[in-house]
Structure 1
């Protein structure tokens, strides 16, 4: 039975985060909760979800736990309805859930490749559809697609994940055009992430001889969370790049993609592995690792000592107008100084 919409439903935002049991989703749920938002936590792992809900409450938000496999379209629709029944509406929907495989393409079975695509790409499609079902009648709401530099630049050993992220990029651009055509006030934006210190390198299916790792430089998941929260409040902008490495990769790929192909062919295997055996061969592809046979992974991975807590590029991205004015003022100053010097007047 539907829960009545009480006056408290007019305060704070209602935010849905998929993949909320760990990693970026976990950090993002905490970041929204710190603003006083009500946060619906969607993921498969019940133990991780319970811990995430406690994080949200400690941060000052209200939590709703909704166990769901985002690869199941009807289950995602039902989850969205559960959020609306509990909180009255959906203001922000963050698509973040994913799974992956570290292996050469020829060592991934068709069933495994399909599963990664269903979770990592179609999960976003199903989440977006469920969000729009409730946002379009109200003509308001924001959908944030959590992307990656790999949405533009494929790397070896992650063909299924890179393919899914590329697909999300194209899907989101198409949807954005349609919303603009309809003059809808529902917004969608995408946040392209760098390498992050999350537990994903301990829970994805891994067929490599050595332990998988992110390509340096690595950032803490809170950097990603801050970018997502900012994007949710500034979704007129079509895309955000997080981290200098993301900006450098995307710009280089636009100019010299063939050179990057050769570079990654030489370095991409070693740069994504380190000494040690993979912690789990099966990963969370078919079932969560933080269930009855596992534990709560939390937001952080094992790369904390080398991970950055902030990003100058991210600050510049959020403050483009200030940066632009600063550069303009600096440019004008340089021109005036040069003119004064040429005229012989003191500058």
Structure 2
């Protein structure tokens, strides 16, 4: 074959067949790359098209500006659907709004001013949104509140389109939501967090979440990165929080070696100890941390599975 199907394209086909056989009422299709040319975009107009927070990632394929990437994302907007957009930069919102107007699509923008945090801690977060009463999520990180608000807007759009979704079902859904490897509290004393963020935008969100959740706590990072990522900017988000790093080599032919990463961190003024495997890295960082400290495993999704195994989670 001159142009063989990719792994993601094959998974998309398998998923479609499974959904058909299972007789699903609603299917959530997550775009793999961009939107306009993505394999998930073979469907006719969806009930609701959702565009979440857009960052500078996959720039080689999608363009090197937020406006260009937003244009690719807008390819999922089709006449006959509703659209929900996560509130973000003006240049992104301008592109999406123009696309919705062109297609005659009603657009709902999440309203950060309508969100009020009632309680936030290691056991989750309780908030109100648009005066709808209190909702609780077990997910950590301030950005998850905005993700939850986006989900609330999607549920409201489905209700407007005739779907029967009760307020209690929405509350239970948010309460039960689990998101592995996104500020995932895997262990306590010391607290061990797993986060698969692998770009500067994700690292910035992780930094702000750690600052809010663990003020004045000593943090140790176990990290590994891919060489084709903007790891100087990623690490630049983390270095103000800690100078204590343990490095590993993710399981990818694109990985930056643990030794090279440790050398970079030392040149940036941090202490960095390279390890030969994720399990060795987990043991090393746990030996360094005291019960009241915090361990954060981050930098690449390629290492999270091994980290979960080393921690006895699977």
The TM-score, its normalising length taken from structure 1, stands at 0.27
User: Per chain length, whose mean CA-contact separation is higher, i.e. which structure has more relative contact order (CA < 8 Å, sep 6+)?
Assistant: 1
1 or 2, which has the higher helix percentage?
1
